[in-house]
Amino acid sequence: MGKFVEAAKKDDLANEMMKEVKIEGHDILLARVGDKYYAIDNRCPHLGGNLSRGRLEGTVVTCPVHGSQFDVTDGRIVRWLKGSGPLQTVSKLFKGPKPVATYNVKVGDNKVLVEI
């Protein structure tokens, strides 16, 4: 069990927005969807792409490097790499599908807290 650390103020993120936050050496993507806040590793497990530079559509973030997609609610893979064919097959052999790590989030007193 970790400790909860302030990552942002509630008003720092509008609906369907995300941002990169650094907390005690962790590079975290903080996202808001509706009234809920989510925290996941900011680095794509494929080749380390910066997910905060990607696109958020609903609860799905798309990596700007190779188009892998992850659900910010639970870290599950929605799509591993964009496209198909030999390049994707070879890429899967070297770096197979892996979900992105998630962090627990609490909201209160205008603060968004992430468990580290």
Q: Is 79's pLDDT higher than 80?
A: yes
Classified as helix, coil or strand, 63 is coil
Angle, CA 36 vertex, CA 33 and CA 38 arms, to 5°: 80
Q: What is the pLDDT of residues 29-53, one digit of tens each?
A: 999 999 999 999 999 999 899 999 9
Give me the long-range contacts of 61-68 (CB less than 8 A, separation at least 24): 61/18, 61/29, 61/31, 66/91, 68/44
Q: Where are the beta strands (DSSP E) in the chain?
A: 4-9, 17-23, 26-33, 36-41, 55-57, 60-62, 69-71, 77-79, 102-103, 105-108, 111-115
Q: Is 107's pLDDT higher than 90?
A: yes
Q: Binning pLDDT at 50, 70 and 90, where does residue 9 land?
A: very high
Write down the mean pLDDT value for the chain: 91
Q: What is the CATH number of the domain that holds 46?
A: 2.102.10.10
Q: Binning pLDDT at 50, 70 and 90, where does residue 93 land?
A: low
pLDDT at residue 82, as a whole number: 77
Q: Binning pLDDT at 50, 70 and 90, where does residue 1 land?
A: confident
**Number of folded domains that form the chain:** 1
Full residue range of the structural domain in which residue 25 is found: 4-115
Residues 92 and 81: beta-carbon distance below 8 Å: yes
Q: Which run of H or E residues covers position 91? A: helix 86-94
pLDDT at residue 92, as a whole number: 55
Tell me the CA distances in angstroms from 41 to 7, 52, 87, 91, 109, one per residue in order. Answer: 13, 10, 25, 21, 24
